[in-house]
Amino acid sequence: MKYTAPRGTRDLKDREAQAFQALEESARRIFQRYGYEEIRTPVFENVELFKRAVGDTTDIVEKEMYVFEDRGGRKLALRPEGTAGIVRAYLEHAWDKSGGIKKLFYIGPMFRAERPQAGRYREFWQIGAEFFGNPSAQADADVLLLLQDLLAASGLTEVKFLINSIGCAACRPVFREALLKYLDSKQGCLCDDCKRRLARNPLRCLDCKKDMAHFSDAPKMRDSLCGACQAHDQELKGLLTSVQFPYEEAPCLVRGLDYYSRTVFEITAPGLGAQDALGAGGRYDSLVKTLGGPDIPAIGFALGMDRMASAKYGDSLSAGIQPNACSRIFVALAGQGTGMTGFRVLQDLRKAGCTAEIGAPGKSLKAQMRWADAWKAGFVVIVGEEELKRGRVILKNLQKHEQKEIEIENLKSEIEEQREKS
């Protein structure tokens, strides 16, 4: 039996693993600047939490969740998104009782049983944030500016911010009626999914990749917004314009999840093909209440790390790592009784901040040199039986094809000197 990674999953390795690390580092730096704290929630939660938060009628809950029963008969699901677990944690730790304001970010894998394709996986990674307790348009602008900084810090500047308002519980029903009437007139060209959505969640039809081309003349939520939602929307746009934030209005933009209200947004990047959404988010003022808490507003987003890495590195993402050759030092052992000194040299080099590796005792020097080459070493320190008697080792500079015998004590300063010259 040959084992492979499950369909829709992959090993993050080489350049891609490095890219993820870099994305995480720059994200953490920017989150700190905006006052966010990290939270790491479990990768599985009670299945009911997702049903309640994400919505029974969404594709995620209906078709894509990995649901299982544990040995105690508990119904659990691998998290398909981050927000539900964070709202659960927010209430569980009673953060709503200490003023309600909380800014949290997360980085981690999510799981959805979608049909895998380029840029769409069953295990994928998200960087996300939730800002609780501030209902103002200023909070929305703050989140969008954070996103812009975060993407720029990750080297992604060629992005588009698409923004819309989907209203609130007061004005959305009016829009829903108008939309239903419109979609009814389009019955003939609706896909099977949209026909189903029509009865349960007609707004989602606007989001349908198959049918959206037919909906250019659909009623726009913007025209049905109530006074308060309209004012919120205007204020947000005013704030964004005042700081020259580049955005596009996207009157047909809705979100796949049920919990959004007012501001929704999506970020796209060129060169990603059909799956060009880098991230998305919006305001979800009723979710905390829906999950049993008080009436606390919130706004958040999630960025897809897999797509961020691919937008940044393109085809070179699958390439192997090319380390800076002179940064790696390989310690080779030649002869009896050299293991102990070799081991000490290795530890000294690592303590001094060098990337160092050691050959296996008993292997021929030739085999160790092949290993050093494959490991892309810049230097090899040969700890040989004869030289050791004189307290010396051989230092080989693999780039310059030079070698010299030196005192063990002078090893670090000699390597530094040679590095500076190269």
CB atoms closer than 10 angstroms to residue 212: 14
Please state the φ and ψ torsions of residue 30, each to the nearest 5 degrees: -70, -40
Distance CA 304, CA 17 (A): 15
216-244 burial code (b ≥16 CB/10 A, e <16): eebbbbbebbeeebeebbeebbebbeeee
CA nearest neighbour of 288 among 101, 416, 29: 101
Q: Which residue is nearest to ligand AMP (CB)?
A: 304
Rank residues 235 and 276 by Cβ distance to ligand AMP and give the closer one.
276
**Burial annotation 15-42 (CB, 10 A radius, 16+ → b, else e):** bbeebbebbeebbbebbeebebeebebe
Which of 126, 224 has the CB closer to ligand AMP?
A: 126
Shortest separation between residue 84's beta carbon and ligand AMP, angstroms: 11
Closest separation in Å from C-beta 253 to ligand AMP: 12
DSSP 88-135: HHHHHTTGGGTTS-EEEEEEEEEE-----BTTB-SEEEEEEEEEES--
Q: Cβ 406 to ligand AMP, closest distance in Å?
A: 52
State in angstroms the smallest separation of the CB of 56 from ligand AMP: 17
- Token readout for 156 is 């992604």
CB of 392 to ligand AMP, least distance (A): 55
Nearer to ligand AMP, 108 or 119 (CB): 119
Q: Considering the complex, state which of residue 112 and residue 392 has its C-beta at the smaller distance from ligand AMP.
A: 112
Closest to ligand AMP by CB, 179 vs 302, is: 302
CB of 130 to ligand AMP, least distance (A): 13
At 57, phi and psi to the nearest 5?
Answer: -95, 5
Decide whether 51 or 112 has the Cβ nearer to ligand AMP.
112
Positive or negative: CA dihedral 129, 134, 140, 144: negative
Residues that bind ligand AMP (CB under 6 A): 81, 112, 114, 119-121, 124, 126, 256, 277-280, 302, 304, 306-307
Residue number with CB closer to ligand AMP (81 or 130): 81
Element (H, E) at 308: helix 305-313
**Least Cβ distance, residue 244 to ligand AMP (angstroms):** 25
